[in-house]
Amino acid sequence: MNIFNIALIEFKHTIRDVRTLVFMLAFPIVMMLILGTALSTTFDKNIKIGKINVLYTEKTDISFSSPFHGFIKEAKKQDIHFKKAPHGLDGKKAVKQNHYDAYVVVTDKGVQFYGSERNSIQASIAEGMLSAFTDKYNLITEVAKEKPDQVQTVMASVSTTPGSYVKETSLNADKAPGSMDYYAVAMTTMIALYSAISASNLIRGERIRNTAVRLVIAPINKMEIFLGKILGSLALNLVCIMLVMAFSRFVFGADWGVHPGMVLLILFTEVFLAVSFGLGISYIIKADQGTRTILMIILQLSSFFGGAYFRIENADGILRFIMNLSPLTWAREALTKIIYNNDLTAALPVISLNLGISLLFLLFAVVAFRRREGL
């Protein structure tokens, strides 16, 4: 019972600290708003090509001209517009001057294509569709020479509409995080890690406030004090995390998926890791200011390489190794898999790692706490 009473006192004491409370709640929300808004364009997965303009000159017979004009008509439905070059116009020069995305010369010997270097994407799309069209036309022509009675069968099986020339297969998931979704997860995991700062002051704060002696002479076991203060810190930081999550969900519209229990479990183990780490560091480093300085350096590096401030993509080598040292990387990647891929198995390695490291720091803190006279 004493453990829960001490936990409640610790909870009430910390919640009255306006500076700590503002930092734990306002800081991640403001950063979420700023970064999520300012960097929204970097998360846009849609490439807008727009209208593609192709200039062409026709020097061919009627047999090819008819299907080619059919192709032009269908291509217009895909926002690819072919325009016949006026007499005397230099098509290549028009493309170089960026008036058109490509220039096509249609002759009896084939199709000559000249693409714009400035608009390489548009030119490549037009070239790909023309190549597909000519390949199908040549196939039908060869069949007509050998087996004219099979032409209709071949034409039925080989569509001549531009929509069938290129089949798109997306390598990105249909459901992917937007900027606000990403920074909701990144800021929440970051502020969970910052629980280490308040945890480093759990026991030392009693000595600073000169309340350690009263606690020692009270009819309470030292371990009850130790466990009660840890429990109070865990409860307060978890409440702050849940409030940040709720705010990001209902105000910013961030997506937290359909597995809130698993998401909270990962965040809880991260808070437990941060509290244990902060408590352990407070016994390793004796000086008050030194403890806070070391913690801030470690937390800032973990946030930076963990992708809290900006997304790091396609990292490998030494950079990937450093990123994997940050608890933010573990938590953020696991949460992304759970939220967007419904991959609940991604939680198990992260939870195990968080709990394992937490117990090591907690064990060290317990041993140091028992050896110390008083608190």
Q: Cβ distance 64 to 108 under 8 Å?
A: yes
Tally of residues, the chain: 375
What sign results for the dihedral spanned by CA atoms 239, 242, 244, 250? Answer: negative
Distance from C-alpha of 329 to C-alpha of 374, rounded to nearest angstrom:
38
What are 158-183's pLDDT values in tens digits? 444 444 444 444 444 456 788 899 99
Whole-angstrom distance between the N-terminal and C-terminal Cα of the chain? 20
Phi-psi region of 356 (alpha: psi -120 to 50; beta: other; left: phi over 0): alpha
Strand order in the sheet with 80-84: 80-84, 52-59, 102-107, 110-115
Q: Which residues of the chain have pLDDT under 50?
A: 151, 154, 158-173
Q: DSSP letter for 103, please.
A: E
Q: Cβ distance 366 to 224 under 8 Å?
A: no
Question: What's the whole-model pTM score?
Answer: 0.66
Strand blocks (E) in the chain? 52-59, 80-84, 102-107, 110-115
* pLDDT reported for residue 68: 74
Q: Cβ distance 295 to 198 under 8 Å?
A: no
* pLDDT reported for residue 139: 66
